[in-house]
Amino acid sequence: MAFQSNALCFGSDLPGQGIPSHVETTPEGLALTFSDQHSQPPVPFDQLSLEAGGFDHDQLVVKWTQGGASRTLYIKDAAVIAAFRHAAPPELLAHFDRAAASVRQVRTTRRTVLLAVVGLLVTLGLGAWFGSDALATWAVSLIPPEWEKQIGESAMKDVLAQQEVVREGPVVDAVKEMTTRLTEQIANSPYQFTVTVVKSPVVNAFALPGGSVVVFTGLVKEAKSPEEVAGVLGHEINHVLQRHGMERIVKTLGVMAIAAIVFGDQQGLIGLAKQLGVEIITLKYNRDQETEADLTGLRLLHKAKVDPAGMIAFFERLAQSEKETQRVELLSTHPMSARRAGQLTAELKALPKFLPEPFAFDWEKVQASIKSSDAQPKL
C-alpha cells in the first residue's frame, strides 16, 4: 500500500525540515510510520503531552521523548485528531482542551476588542469626514471637468425649462461684458463660462458646475451700480472654480455618488445628479465655501480692475435685508452677514491700490430696459 502522510514529525535526532509521517491511534497509544516506511516503536498515551499549535491553533501538537531524543508531531488531519480524541484517556485530553479553550478565548477577546476599535474608528472617521465635507471634497477632486460640464448643462436645461430667458438686449450685453472681463483674468481655467439672463423679479444669480451662470433681471434691477452685479458674478464664478456646487451635489447624493466617482461611472453620477432636478440650485453652500468665494471673488474683481467697493456695498445691503427678513433669493443659498462684508473690507485693504476701470455699457440704459420690459403687459 502506498505511503500516505497525515502528520509531520520533528525531533532532535531528525532532519530539520521534519519527516512526513503516517500516524494511527491504537487503544494503547500512537503508531507512527515515517515516509521511508520505517515503523517507529509505538508511543503509549502516558508518555505524551499535548498542545494546540500551528498558525491557526487548529493543529494537535504531540510531544514525547524517545531514546533520549525529543519528538514533536504536528497533526492537522481532522479525522486523525478525532480518532486520537476517541482513543486517548480523558486526563490527557483535559489538559489539551483547557489550553485550546484559553487560546480560543484570548483570540475571541482580542478579535472582539479589535472589531470594536475598528468599528469605532470607522464610525468616527466617516462621521468626521462627512461632517467636515472632506469625503465629498476628496471625491469631487476625482471628477473630470468634462463630467461637471455635463451635469451642469443637464441641470441648466431643467432649470431654464421653467424660466423666461432673455436672449438679447442691454441686460444681456452688460452681463456678458462683465463675465468676459472677469473670466479673462482666470489663468488655465478648465471651464468655459456661459452666462444666461432670466427675466424674473427675484434678486438672484447662481452658477452650476462646469461654468453655467444664471443672472436674474431682479438682481440687475436691485443693484445700485454695475460693480455690484459684477461682485456677485465674481463670487459665483469662484464657487464654480472651487467646485463648491459639485461638493454640495455629491454630499447631498451621498455614498452612491462617491461610489460612482471612485469607480469612474460617469453616466451613473450624471443619472444621480439628474434626480436632484431643479433642486440643484437650492443647495446651500457652507460658511467656509462662502468665505472662500467672497475672498477669491474679490481678488478676481481686483485683477479685472473692477471697483470692489460695489461688491462690499451690495453685500452690506444684503446683510441688512436679511436682518429685516426681506425676501431675497440670493440669501437662501448664500446667507449674508455683516461679518462677511467686514472680511471683504479687510481683504481689500491688504490688496495693492489700483485705479478701477468703468464698464463700457450704459448702466442707466440697462436698468431702464428692465423697467420698461416689466411694464409690458403679459400676453
Binding interface with Zn ion (CB under 5 A): 285, 290, 293, 334
Residue 198 phi/psi, 5° resolution? -115, 135
Cβ of residue 143: shortest distance to Zn ion, in angstroms? 20
Looking at the Cβ atoms of 75 and 293, the one nearer to Zn ion is: 293
Looking at the Cβ atoms of 147 and 315, the one nearer to Zn ion is: 315
Q: Say if residue 356 is exposed, middle or buried (CB neighbours under 10 Å; 0-12, 13-18, 19+).
A: middle
Residues 6+ apart with CB under 8 A from 362: 170
Cα atoms in the 13 Å half-sphere on the side-chain side of 262: 11
Angle at 299 between CA 251 and CA 167, to 5 degrees: 70
What distance in Å separates the CA atoms of residue 149 and residue 209, rounded to the nearest whole number?
6
Q: Which of 224, 229, 239, 274 is nearest to 253 (CA)?
A: 274
Helical segments of the chain, H only: 78-87, 90-132, 134-141, 145-160, 170-183, 217-222, 226-241, 244-253, 255-262, 266-275, 287-303, 309-323, 329-333, 338-350, 363-375
Cβ of residue 330: shortest distance to Zn ion, in angstroms? 8
Looking at the Cβ atoms of 302 and 334, the one nearer to Zn ion is: 334
Looking at the Cβ atoms of 84 and 315, the one nearer to Zn ion is: 315
Cβ of residue 55: shortest distance to Zn ion, in angstroms? 58
Looking at the Cβ atoms of 61 and 178, the one nearer to Zn ion is: 178
Cβ of residue 293: shortest distance to Zn ion, in angstroms? 5
Looking at the Cβ atoms of 71 and 235, the one nearer to Zn ion is: 235
Cell of 131: 461632517
Q: Say if residue 335 is exposed, middle or buried (CB neighbours under 10 Å; 0-12, 13-18, 19+).
A: middle
Residue with the three cell numbers 471625491: 139
Cβ of residue 298: shortest distance to Zn ion, in angstroms? 13
Looking at the Cβ atoms of 200 and 286, the one nearer to Zn ion is: 286
Which residue number places its CB atom closest to Zn ion?
A: 334
Tell me the torsion sign for CA atoms 372, 216, 338, 345: negative
What distance in Å separates the CA atoms of residue 262 and residue 143, rounded to the nearest whole number?
9
Cβ of residue 324: shortest distance to Zn ion, in angstroms? 20
User: In angstroms, how far is the first alpha carbon of the chain from the final one?
Assistant: 104
Give the helix/strand (H/E) hosting 11: strand 7-11
For residue 261, give the amino acid letter.
I
Looking at the Cβ atoms of 226 and 234, the one nearer to Zn ion is: 234
Cβ of residue 248: shortest distance to Zn ion, in angstroms? 11
Looking at the Cβ atoms of 99 and 331, the one nearer to Zn ion is: 331
Beta partners for residue 205, in sequence order: 215
Cβ of residue 232: shortest distance to Zn ion, in angstroms? 9
Cβ of residue 214: shortest distance to Zn ion, in angstroms? 14
Looking at the Cβ atoms of 229 and 293, the one nearer to Zn ion is: 293
Cβ of residue 295: shortest distance to Zn ion, in angstroms? 12
